[in-house]
Structure 1
Amino acid sequence: MGTENAVGGSPGRAARAEGESETETAPGSLEGLNSSVPIPSENAGFWRQYRAFVGPAFLVCVGYMDPGNWGTDLQAGASFRYGLLWVVAVSSFMAIIMQVCAARLGIVTGKDLAQACRDFLPSWTRWPNWFACELAIGACDLAEVLGSAVALNLLFHIPLFWAVLITAFDVLLILAFQGIGMRFIEALIVTLVATIGGCYFIEIFVLPQTTPSFLEMGSALLTPGFRSEGMLLGAIGIIGATVMPHNLYLHSALVRTRQLGFDEPTIRRAIKFNTIDTVLALSLAFLVNSAILVLAATTFYGREGAALASGEIVSFDKDADWIRVAYLTLAPLLGAGSASALFAVALLASGQSSTITGTLAGQVVMEGFTHWRIRPWVRRFVTRAVAILPAVVVIGVNGSGSVTDLLVLSQVVLAVQLPLAMFPLLYFTSSKQRMGRFRNGWFLLTVGWASCLLITALIVYGLPEAVEKAWAVIAG
């Protein structure tokens, strides 16, 4: 895992010594990828060092632009124009803080968040925590399944039921990628993220019908508030869909794919470049989420519906399936089929990139909490089955109009799990015993705990209504 020439009192050495009996027989998660990427010496130039460290945050950032985010952003833009754009910015900032803390935990202690929870928290918390994490990953995978399936349905007119089943077999593709190596996976994810960003760049800046009012957007960012009924619940939905619990576990493990030691200069260098990586990657995710909201605000706000080429009228009401509505109505409203095609391609890239990172997160959580080592294809099929089963049942019974209901169900599960990931993360990274001199400073300490408490309060506030909607989905 690294060198032993740690400076006296090194938190990496201390953390490993305290949990020595458990960690000696528990190698790092992501076996085969852990410590697989070499880093240059500290005398190398800035860009050479940055290229070696860049990657983990870009894998994480796809979770911040997955299909669950698309639904909330589209609905916010269609309902309130640019009124909730500031919420996207605030939630993205809070996500950056949490991911920076997750990266620091992995770098300094040599443990990912799942391993730290197993080793540093009371033993009775281990199994409930693991079970909650598995539920959250299954819920996240459900959103990814739905996003990919809807994209296949829209692009190739495959019935949604069969499109959901087709997504079950992307496990073979994922396993092939993992066998090639970490840098290839990172390059693939960056390509998919660039595809999403490129599609929205064209729609916002090239297609004249969707060019927004940048002055109005700037005003909305600088004057936050809840001026209309329903905006608070919309804000809760955006925050709940933005900060993803499984990303905290994943990021703390991905930073250990670099060949890091526990000496102070290496730790400082890794923290520096991973912080830069996190800020850049999640800023890109913020721009994509903002673009989705802006596209909806420009195209749908103030309209009650649109007529399709077939003569069918699509209504823009609060219960609309906004992902499908956006695709179906972009061409009639804008007079060009290219907008709809770009939207569907970006959605497919979003679903597939989130699938890859969801697989890795599931591996990290299982290995970290249980120390089980099972074959990746078994792990993937189990996770995929958990996600696909509710999708197949609900879509088979209620038809393709239930996609939004399933996304609501997935977001409720993720919201419940999020505090269970945030509180231990901030507790560990604020502890001098666990982190030594690299514990959170006053800025991360203040902003991190404030973000954690605010997110938790909003989740608790919105949970009764969300659970009511989720139960309606379960009860049919």
Structure 2
Amino acid sequence: MSSNEAYHEPGAGGDGSGGSSGASAGGSQRSNQLHHQQILNETTYLKPAAKQAYFSDEKVLIPDDDSTNVGFSFRKLWAFTGPGFLMSIAYLDPGNIESDMQSGAAAKYKILWVLLWATVLGLLMQRLAARLGVVTGLHLAEMCYRQYKRLPRWILWIMIEIAIIGSDMQEVIGTAIAIYLLSNKVVPLWGGVLITIVDTFTFLFLDKYGLRKLEFLFGTLITIMAVSFGYEYIVSAPNQGEVLEGMFVPWCSHCNSNVLLQ
């Protein structure tokens, strides 16, 4: 018996009106499902014909074995960890580290609470962006392209470009200063800038070999930085009371404009 015959079989025992009513109800249900899917596609996904700006050619495979799918899985967690390493670079770039060092030299531990709450707000925004990407399948640039008209898109683009330029300036200068100091002033600042340009294009080139390799590289670098910071914290032995007070008490006594502008 074919699938169509099996579908119409329940109506065969009744009269013609019953069979017709069942077929009509089934057709209406399928039509509603197709209409709902069409609305879902139109509201959550862009097609290539709609000039979507970006399509990921490489999909990250998430292990999903029902036989071992019991409770928490470190294997699944690790599959999602790579993008977290890439995003954490935004908080660990040389420009931010240099800015933190300048703030510490000027205010000691008094404005650690600013760093704490800025990190919390950053995590909140990253979480919202991740949830938006999971639900829609689009990144923020694609969402702006789809939701805003041309004038707001241009304004957002100009604002983002200015923010990127400002961020890149401190990152490049911070890297150049770090190379200048680590080389015992042998490499000049302009040489550090050139080295920064070269390593930037090197990382872009590594992306061609696969996203996982790039994530592994950044994960290794972040691990080295974490170990270095932990060792430095132990060796420097800061006053724990002052650290906790500066982190959780939102106040900065005797802070002048030079401290607040760091």
Q: TM-score range by the shorter chain?
A: 0.7 to 0.9
| Residue of structure 2 in register with 1:37 after alignment | 60
* 1:139 lines up with 2:171 in the alignment: no
Q: Distance in 1 between matches of 2:38 and 2:181?
A: 53
* 67-76 vs 178-187, which moves further: 67-76
| Residue of structure 1 in register with 2:104 after alignment | 77
| Residue of structure 2 in register with 1:110 after alignment | 137
CA contact (8 A) 2:82 2:215 kept: yes
Counterpart selection for 1:17 from 42, 63, 73: 42
| Residue of structure 2 in register with 1:191 after alignment | 220
CA contact (8 A) 2:203 2:214 kept: no
| Residue of structure 2 in register with 1:445 after alignment | none
Aligned length: 223
Q: Which runs of 5+ in 2 are unaligned?
A: 1-32
Q: Distance in 2 between matches of 1:218 and 1:14?
A: 52
Q: Distance in 2 between matches of 1:13 and 1:227?
A: 59
The offset of 1:159, in angstroms, is: 1.3
Q: Deviations over 1:434-461 (max 9, x none)?
A: xxxxxxxxxxxxxxxxxxxxxxxxxxxx
The one-letter code matched in structure 2 to 1:40 is P
Q: Distance in 1 between matches of 2:154 and 2:189?
A: 35
The one-letter code matched in structure 2 to 1:119 is R
The offset of 1:93, in angstroms, is: 0.8
CA contact (8 A) 1:56 1:186 kept: yes
Q: Distance in 1 between matches of 2:118 and 2:103?
A: 14
The one-letter code matched in structure 2 to 1:148 is T
The offset of 1:117, in angstroms, is: 0.6
SS at match of 1:55: helix
Distance 1:219 1:144, change over 3 A: closer
Pairing 1:280-319 to 2, within 5 Å after superposition? none
CA contact (8 A) 2:98 2:174 kept: no
Counterpart selection for 1:202 from 223, 231, 247: 231
Distance 1:42 1:227, change over 3 A: farther
SS at match of 2:159: helix
The structure that has the greater radius of gyration is 2
Q: Distance in 2 between matches of 1:232 and 1:159?
A: 27
Counterpart selection for 1:216 from 209, 234, 242: 242
Q: Deviations over 1:378-402 (max 9, x none)?
A: xxxxxxxxxxxxxxxxxxxxxxxxx
The offset of 1:111, in angstroms, is: 0.8
* 1:96 lines up with 2:123 in the alignment: yes
| Residue of structure 1 in register with 2:21 after alignment | none
Distance 1:174 1:229, change over 3 A: closer
Q: Distance in 1 between matches of 2:38 and 2:83?
A: 24
The offset of 1:28, in angstroms, is: 6.4
CA contact (8 A) 2:94 2:171 kept: yes
Q: Deviations over 1:354-406 (max 9, x none)?
A: xxxxxxxxxxxxxxxxxxxxxxxxxxxxxxxxxxxxxxxxxxxxxxxxxxxxx
CA contact (8 A) 1:83 1:220 kept: yes
Work out which structure has the larger RCO, using CA pairs closer than 8 Å and 6 or more positions apart in sequence: 1
Q: Deviations over 1:457-476 (max 9, x none)?
A: xxxxxxxxxxxxxxxxxxxx
SS at match of 1:97: helix
Q: Distance in 2 between matches of 1:23 and 1:63?
A: 30
CA contact (8 A) 1:12 1:109 kept: no
Distance 1:222 1:142, change over 3 A: closer
Q: Distance in 1 between matches of 2:167 and 2:141?
A: 17
Q: Distance in 2 between matches of 1:15 and 1:114?
A: 20
SS at match of 1:227: coil
The offset of 1:233, in angstroms, is: 6.2
Q: Distance in 1 between matches of 2:151 and 2:135?
A: 25
The one-letter code matched in structure 1 to 2:228 is C
Cα RMSD of the aligned pairs, angstroms, is 2.9
Aligned residues: percent identity?
31
Distance 1:71 1:170, change over 3 A: closer
Distance 1:21 1:88, change over 3 A: closer
Q: Deviations over 1:301-328 (max 9, x none)?
A: xxxxxxxxxxxxxxxxxxxxxxxxxxxx
Q: Distance in 2 between matches of 1:130 and 1:120?
A: 14
Distance 1:20 1:48, change over 3 A: closer
Calculate the TM-score normalised by the size of structure 2. Answer: 0.74
Q: Distance in 2 between matches of 1:85 and 1:150?
A: 24
| Residue of structure 1 in register with 2:150 after alignment | 123
Pairing 1:138-177 to 2, within 5 Å after superposition? 138-156=165-183, 157-177=186-206
| Residue of structure 2 in register with 1:180 after alignment | 209
The offset of 1:31, in angstroms, is: 4.0
The offset of 1:55, in angstroms, is: 1.6
Q: Deviations over 1:146-185 (max 9, x none)?
A: 2222222222321112221232223441233111111111
